[in-house]
Amino acid sequence: MAAPVSKQMTMQEAMSRFVRDGDCVILEGFTHLIPFAAAHELIRQGRRELTLVRLTPDLIFDQMIAAGCARKLIFSWAGNPGVGPLHAFRRAVEQQRPRALELEEYSHFGMTLRLAAGAANLPFLPTRNYAGSDLPRANPAIRPVTCPFTGEQIWAVPALTPDVAILHAQRADAEGNTQVWGLVGVHKEAAFAARRVVVVVEEIVPAETVRRDPNRTLIPGFRVDAVVAEPFGAHPSYVQGYYDRDNDFYQRWDDISREESGLAVYLEEWVHGVRDRAAYRAKMQETCERLRARPMPCEPVSYGY
Amino acid sequence: MASPPTTYEVMVTAAARRLRDGEVVFVGIGIPNVAANLARRTHCPHLILIYESGAVGAQPERLPISIGDPALVAGAAGVCSMSEVFQFYLQRGLIDVGFLGGAQIDRYGNLNTTVIGEYARPKVRLPGSGGACEIAALARRTLVVMPHKRRAFVPRVDFVTSPGFLSGGAERERLGLPGAGPEAVVTDLGVLQFDKETREMMLVSLHAGATQEQALENTGWPLRVASPLGRTEPPSEEELRVLREELGAKGSAS
């Protein structure tokens, strides 16, 4: 057997090689596994004119919008969960600051179907959703379609095939076989829908570790272009089994981001002011300790036959 | 003797009591989350909690702060992807009850969580649908929980994010929406339901301390009132104990 090719590289290298100005980039993770370290590196590298895709833009896109990376947003729910609005997102939409932001808006179901269609190489997927809603009026890409078998009118959303998917996970081997547990969101759909895939993990593990538990693999290595090891790389979101969500920070973001100036100070200190995620981590060791997950292991299973 | 219930506790309890044991509930964050967890610990021990994040049969030991809280996964019966949640659970018709809320609701129970003002040039940009549009369309029935304010209870919503009974009558059925639509609206003042024919919202019960005048003043159209007008049963000692001691729920009504 040929030795597997290592795709491991630094975050700086992965972002500069695989994300270009003007790309359509999906940075997924539903509450869980949000790739903040990658977003911060894209801000540091000054990426511009991006079409940013997420179901929930969350703090990660609030930061990228404020930093001027975004031209357009494709999304389904833009808020700070349980806290309030996303202030930078609202400033962009309501006051065109720092610039106008084009919106293409769906519901969560619509977004999951768009990615599933992209992943399956279909032009669209149908749904029983959207009748009576004004969403199709706001977004003409949500269209009625007639079932060829029953004549029933339902609705359709077009496939979404981003240029790049950036996905955080618990672990992968150096080849990019990526394992996730806990909430999986639309990670798999995003990985198969996108043209290029960058995986960011808490740890790189030997190939044997992955291959002893193949059911946990969400993304096969041959779909993956780059693997970046970045412990604590999803903070302030969380990684099941590694660290809890920094709910205090999500609360504090409301004050930090309320004014452009406050948000700029944050970006200066925590994004531009650190070289990489290791420096960010070193700057908040107490937080790392506070959020560290307690062990809750499950029984191993046998793959014997 | 426990201190008297807060408005928040009355709302949560009124919502929780509309759930029936053994039902499958699609849970959102805020009051719906507390209500579903209260119901599971009181009169609905077999309630199945499904979160749009993919946690199936969740039994969170702490009150989840976000819809994707790790406590929803630990101890859950299962975890599935979000495309499965929406296709296999919600669209398949397996969800008995979905919870909704919004910045605006109108007399036919249509909800707006998208924009105040024009869509293209919004006065206020709200978060958007999230899973609300599909819950409104596909859950077998929905419960709406929101504060009773005149600026929220408007004759016509600026944007129909989540369809209720649209312009009333049989329009919802005509459009072929699979779910039956909103069953009740629980506010900080009382409980409202919808007329079976016209599908217009109607005040059916008032919480302790609230008046019919308050409900009328805080509704942007001439609100119909059921006769006789009911009184919301206050939370029991046991419900208050679970809320305060087990769930540590100290939210606000708005």
Which residue in A has a C-alpha nearest to residue B113's C-alpha? A77
Q: Which residues of chain A have pLDDT under 50?
A: none
CA distance B40 to B243: 12
The one-letter code for the residue type at B106 is D
Residues B85 and B48 in one domain: yes
Out of B53, B65, B136, the one facing A247 most closely (by C-beta) is B65
Terminal-residue alpha carbon distance, chain A: 23
Euclidean distance between CA atoms A208 and B152, whole angstroms: 57
Same domain, B83 and B157: no
Rounded Cα distance, A149 and B45, in Å: 42
Find the CATH number of the domain harbouring B148: 3.40.1080.10
Claim to verify: residue B79 and residue B151 sit in the same structural domain? no
**Residues of chain A numbered 187-246 and touching chain B (CB < 8 Å):** 187-189, 238, 240, 244-245
Give me the residue from A106, A116, A183 closest to B68, CB to CB. Answer: A183
Spell out which residues of chain A touch residue B64, defining contact as CB-CB under 8 Å: none
Are β-strands A164-172 and B122-125 bridged in parallel, bridged antiparallel, or unpaired? unpaired
pLDDT in tens, chain B (254 residues): 679 999 999 999 999 999 999 999 999 778 888 999 999 999 999 999 999 999 999 988 888 888 899 999 999 999 999 999 999 999 999 999 999 999 999 999 999 999 999 999 999 999 999 999 999 999 999 999 999 999 999 999 999 999 999 999 999 999 999 999 999 999 999 999 999 999 999 999 999 999 999 999 999 999 999 999 999 999 999 999 999 999 887 777 65
Which residues span the domain enclosing B59?
A: 1-95+233-254
Active site residues of B: 52
Are residue B15 and residue B102 in the same domain, yes or no? no
Partners of A86 on chain B (C-beta within 8 Å) are 127
What does the pLDDT read at residue A4? 72
Extents of the domains making up chain A: 11-106+161-288, 125-158
Q: Looking at residue B249, what is its pLDDT?
A: 78
* Same domain for B134 and B122: yes
DSSP per residue, chain A: -PPPPP-B--HHHHHHHH--TT-EEEE--SSBS--HHHHHHHHHTT--SEEEE-SS-HHHHHHHHHTT-EEEEEES--SBTTTB--HHHHHHHHH--SS--EEEE--HHHHHHHHHHHHTT-SEEEES--TT-SHHHH-TTSEEEE-TTT--EEEEEE----SEEEEEEEEE-TT--EE--S--TTHHHHHHHSSEEEEEEEEE--HHHHHTSGGGEEE-GGG-SEEEE-TTTTTTSBBTTTB---HHHHHHHHHHTTSHHHHHHHHIIIIITSSSHHHHHHHTHHHHHHHBPPP----------
Query: Is residue A150 less than 8 Å (CB to CB) from chain B?
Result: no
Do B49 and B102 fall into the same domain?
A: no
Contact list in B for residue A94 (CB cut-off 8 A) is 122-125
A11-106+161-288: CATH, from 3.40.50.10490, 3.40.1080.10, 3.40.50.720, 3.30.365.10: 3.40.1080.10
Q: Are residues B81 and B134 in the same domain?
A: no
Within this chain, do residues B226 and B238 fall inside the same structural domain, yes or no?
no
Chain B closest-CA separation from residue A183 CA (Å) = 6
Which chain A residue lies closest to B56 (C-alpha atoms)? A183
Task: Write down the pLDDT at residue B213.
Answer: 98
pLDDT of residue B253: 64
Ramachandran area for residue A299 (φ above 0: left; ψ -120 to 50: alpha; else beta): beta
Residues B90 and B109 in one domain: no
* pLDDT value at residue B60: 86
Distances (CA, A) of B42 to A201, B29, B75, B219: 41, 19, 19, 33
pLDDT value of residue B254? 57
Residues B43 and B104 in one domain: no
* B70, B114: one domain: no
The residue of chain A with its CA nearest to that of B159 is A134
Supply the pLDDT for residue B1: 61
- A-B C-beta contacts closer than 8 Å: 173
| Contact present, B175 and A168 (Cβ < 8 Å) | no
Q: Tell which of B26, B56, B62, B81 to mutate to test the A interface (max A CBs under 10 Å).
A: B81
Structure tokens at B60: 């969170």
Give the nearest partner residue to A133 out of B69, B130, B162, using CB atoms.
B162
Residue A156 CB contacts under 8 Å (≥ 6 apart), including other chains: A124, A125, A126, A127, A142, A143, A144, A145
Token duo for residue A61:
């896109």
A31–B66 CB contact, under 8 Å = yes
Q: Which residue of B has its CA nearest to A93?
A: B125
Number of structural domains (chain B) is: 2
Cβ separation A109–B133 shorter than 8 A: yes
Do residues B204 and B251 both lie within one domain? Answer: no
